[in-house]
Structure 1
Amino acid sequence: MGNGFGMGFGGGFMWLFWILLIVVIVWAVKAAGGSSNDSPETQKSALDILKERYARGEIDQEEFEKKREDLGG
């Protein structure tokens, strides 16, 4: 009766519940907190953006050259 095993499977499942709850909370915080894909490796430089704008025809060659000189590239 009082041998210390009174919890049986209920105690084991209670531990599992708390572990899963903590894992879900950690996952939710990571997902909401800053899991954006804007790591430094994936960010484009200003010169890359300028080249893309020129390739799309948003700016002409004169403006491209001027802005490229301004950027130092």
Structure 2
Amino acid sequence: MLVFWILILIGLVLLIFWLIRQFTQASGAGGRSGTNRALEILQERYARGEITREEYEAMRRDLLGGSSS
């Protein structure tokens, strides 16, 4: 009987950890998600004509952290 309650307790703890992880990922807490959103905003600004192609490429390189074109 004691083993049953220990398994229930372990299951509850694992469930709580899983729920916390799901909520933190859904809220965009990860750095990669922020970069993706920044790239989306950059693409929208370029599409609206707010920035030139050169500005777009330079900002895109800065966001991606590389020197690729």
Structure-2-length-normalised TM-score: 0.48
The structure richer in helix per residue is 2
For the pair shown, which has the larger CA radius of gyration, 1 or 2?
1
TM-score, reference length from structure 1: 0.46
